[in-house]
Amino acid sequence: MIARIKGKVIEIDTQQLVVDVSGIGYEVEVPVATVAAVKLNAGVELFSHFVVREDAQTIFGFLHRADRDLFRALIKVNKVGPKLALAILSAVDATAFAGLVQGNEVKTLNNIPGVGRVMAERLIMEMRDKVDDWYQPMPEVNASGAVSAFDDAETALVGLGYRAQEVTRVLAQIADPADNVEGLIRQALKHLG
């Protein structure tokens, strides 16, 4: 499985990027917000999900791990395929979706292209208990780059073998905007170990 792609954006389309990784161009289906956020010939790092079907192999990419986790949860819902999951993530990010599910917002979900009333109700019913499993509020961004330190600490701790959900939960509880990566890792290890 391809879990992450890091490279240079060499083509941009409506909902697709081509990312050059060591001379190989990977076509990656992405939410609309991702297309708006990236620049041609700039570096990008995407959390990805690889789908293999009889007739196609498709990589779906996301700027944030929470969006990829939501995508993976959505495609497990009955009658939600990768294209509909991508349409949902093009309309709302993981944080907004969690709020819609927790707030029982059938009307708002119904406004997303491809999501009718029945599907909106199904999404709320099937995702209500799962939202807390994959979604944790992220610390707020500050000018000093605390979110980058948060992401780096999370990646390092997952690399040490800790479960991603547990790491995210612990970091969200202890994160101090003044902490650097090493400080966050030290604090997290006290809670994890």
Q: State if pTM tops 0.95.
A: no
> What pLDDT sits at residue 165?
77
Lowest mean pLDDT among 15-19, 101-105, 118-122, 155-159: 155-159
> What pLDDT sits at residue 144?
47
Task: State how far the Cα of 140 lies from the Cα of 150, in Å rounded to an integer.
Answer: 10
Segments making up each domain of the chain, as ranges: 4-62, 72-134, 146-192
Asked if 71 contacts 60 with a C-beta cutoff of 8 angstroms, the reply is yes
Q: Which range, 81-90, 92-101, 124-133, is most confident?
A: 81-90
Between the CA atoms of 33, 30, 65 and 177, what dihedral angle is there, to the nearest 10 degrees?
A: -30
CA atoms within 13 A on the CB side of 157: 29
Domain 72-134 in CATH 1.10.150.20? The answer is: yes
Domain 4-62, CATH among 2.40.110.10, 2.40.50.140, 1.10.390.10, 2.102.10.10: 2.40.50.140
Examine domains 4-62 and 146-192 and report if their fold is the same.
no
Residue 35, classified by CB atoms within 10 Å of its CB into exposed (0-12), middle (13-18) or buried (19+), is middle
Task: State how far the Cα of 166 lies from the Cα of 22, in Å rounded to an integer.
Answer: 33
Domain 146-192, CATH among 3.30.2090.10, 1.10.8.10, 3.30.1360.120, 1.10.150.570: 1.10.8.10
Q: Which residues pair with 52 in a beta bridge?
A: 57
Write the DSSP symbol of residue 141: P
Query: In the predicted model, is pLDDT for residue 62 greater than 50?
Result: yes
Task: State how far the Cα of 183 lies from the Cα of 171, in Å rounded to an integer.
Answer: 11
Q: State pLDDT tens for residues 173-190.
A: 776 656 677 777 778 878
Q: State pLDDT tens for residues 136-168.
A: 554 444 444 445 677 777 777 776 667 777 888
> What pLDDT sits at residue 73?
94
